[in-house]
Amino acid sequence: MKKQPSAVLTVLLFAAVLLLVPLGWLLLSQKTFSDSERRYLAEFPSLARQDLSDWTFDDAVETYLADHLPLRDTLVGINAYAVLLSGRQVSQPVWADMQGRLEEAPFAYDENEFRKRLDRIETLQQAVQKPVFVLAVPSAGYVQKDSLPSGLGALYPDGEAFDLLENRSGFSVVPLRERFLQEQKAWYYRTDHHWTAKGVFAAYVAFMAASGKEALSADRFYHHTADGYTGSTRSRSALWLTAPDTLQIDEPIDTPVTVSFSDKEGSFDSLFFYEHLGSYDWYRLFLDGNHPVTVIENRSADPSLSTLLMVKDSFGNTLAPLLVPSYRRIVLVDPRYARTSVSKLCSRYEADEILFCYSIERLATDRNLLLLK
C-alpha cells in the first residue's frame, strides 16, 4: 500500500525535530548568563564517582540541558502565559494584575519572627542613644491589590506587619503606608518591585517631615529619564510581552559629592553609575547597586549639617541621593553583605541619626537583621 504524502511529511518533520534539537544543543553558542532571566545558566557538570550512585550527575545534566534548550526564552514565555491564562498564576512567585503590572506574590509572614527583628532595632537604639527611624515600603501587590484578580489581594500580610510595626514605641515610624494606599497606581514600576521616582520622592518628603527637616521641592533636582527599563519581576515571571518602563533619575542640583565603597577601590564623584544602563540590571545605576558599606560625602555641605547612617536594602539606593543635600555625610550599610557592627559604624562616622529603609517584606524576613549590634 502506497503511503500518503501527508504521512510521509509528518514522519520527516518528526525526524527533523529529533535531529535538529540535539544539534542545536551541540552547535549553537552556549551562553553562560541569561539577560532576560537575570541569572547564570548551568554549566556542564563534571562526572565524579560518587555522582553515579545518587543520581547527582543525572540531575545536573538535566538542569544543564533545560538551561541551554534552543529557543529557551520563547518556550519559557509560552509556558508562563499558559499558566497565566489557565488561572494558575497563584502558584507563581510573580503575579500579573488586570492592568498589566507585575507584582511579587505575598511573602511568608511570621509575627513572632517579625517581633524579634523589631526588638533588635530597639536594642540598637538603646545602645547608640540616637534617634532611630524606620521607613518600611509596602509591597506593590498590597498597595495595588484592587487591580488583582478577585481574592488574591487579600492574601498580602502587609497590613498585619504594619499594624505591629506602627505600634512599637522604641523608634519612630515614618508614615508611608496610608500615603501609598491613597494613590495606588503611581508608586511602583510595571516590571519591577521597586518604587518609581514618584514613590521615592513621596518617601523622601515623609522622612524629612518625621525627622524635623524641610524637604526640597522637586525643582531642586535634575530629572533624567531612560526608556526601556525592564526589572526583576519581568525577568522572574517570563511574561516577556509586558511593556517596559521609563526609569527616572532625580539628581540634586549643585551638590558635589565623593562616594566610596567598602568593597571597591577608589572614590567617585557621582551618585549615579550610568554604565549600568548597558547591562541587564539598570537599577544598579543608583549608587552602583548594593555594597556592604557606602559612604557619601557632601562636599558643599555646611559643617553644621548632620550625618545619617542608613541601614537598608536596595530601596535605600534610590532614597539616599535625594537626602544628600540635607546631610554632611550619609553612610549606607547593607546587612545582607556587611558583617560589621552598626553601633560601631555609628560611632566611627559620628552619626546623628539612624534610618532603616527597607521593604516591609525584607524588614519582616531578613535573617541578617537578627544579627544587628
Q: For residues 47 and 230, what is the distance between their CA atoms, to the nearest angstrom?
A: 38
- Tell whether the model's pLDDT for residue 371 goes beyond 80: yes
- Tell whether the model's pLDDT for residue 50 goes beyond 60: no
Cβ-based neighbour number of residue 79 at 10 Å: 11
- Tell whether the model's pLDDT for residue 246 goes beyond 60: yes
In the prediction, which pLDDT does 66 show? Answer: 67
Contact 179, 171 (CB under 8 A): no
Task: State the pLDDT confidence band at 63, using cuts at 50, 70 and 90.
Answer: confident
| C-alpha cell read off for 258 | 565623593
Contact 231, 314 (CB under 8 A): no
Task: State the pLDDT confidence band at 48, using cuts at 50, 70 and 90.
Answer: low
| C-alpha cell read off for 279 | 547591562
Q: For residues 219 and 327, what is the distance between their CA atoms, to the nearest angstrom?
A: 19
Q: Which long-range contacts (CB under 8 A, 24 or more apart) does 68-74 make?
A: 68/25, 68/30, 68/31, 68/41, 68/42, 69/25, 70/21, 70/24, 70/25, 70/28, 72/34, 73/34, 73/36, 73/37, 73/238, 73/240
pLDDT in tens, 14-24: 676 666 666 66
In the prediction, which pLDDT does 72 show? Answer: 77
pLDDT in tens, 223-241: 999 999 999 999 999 999 9
Task: State the pLDDT confidence band at 160, using cuts at 50, 70 and 90.
Answer: very high
Of all residues in the chain, what percent carry a pLDDT higher than 90? Answer: 73
In the prediction, which pLDDT does 34 show? Answer: 66
Q: For residues 230 and 238, what is the distance between their CA atoms, to the nearest angstrom?
A: 11
Contacts of 281 (CB under 8 A, 6+ apart): 38, 289
- Grid look-up 506574590 returns 105
In the prediction, which pLDDT does 7 show? Answer: 72
- For the chain, what is the HEC assignment? CCCCHHHHHHHHHHHHHHHHHHHHHHHCCCCCEECCCCEECCCCCCCCCCHHHHCHHHHHHHHHHHHCCCCHHHHHHHHHHHHHHCCCHHHCCEEECCCCCEEECCCCCCHHHHHHHHHHHHHHHHHHCCCEEEEEECCHHHHCHHHCCCCCHHHCCHHHHHHHHHCCCCCEECCCHHHHHHCCCCCECCCCCCECHHHHHHHHHHHHHHCCCCCCCHHHEEEEEEEEECCHHHHHHCCCCCCCEEEEEEEECCCCEEEEECCEEEEECCCECHHHHHCCCHHHHECCCCCCEEEEEECCCCCCCCEEEEEECCCHHHHHHHHHHHCCEEEEECCCCCCCCHHHHHHHCCCCEEEEEEEHHHHHHCHHHHHCC
Q: What is the mean pLDDT of the chain?
A: 89
pLDDT in tens, 292-319: 999 999 999 999 999 999 999 999 999 9
| C-alpha cell read off for 122 | 530597639
- Tell whether the model's pLDDT for residue 1 goes beyond 60: no
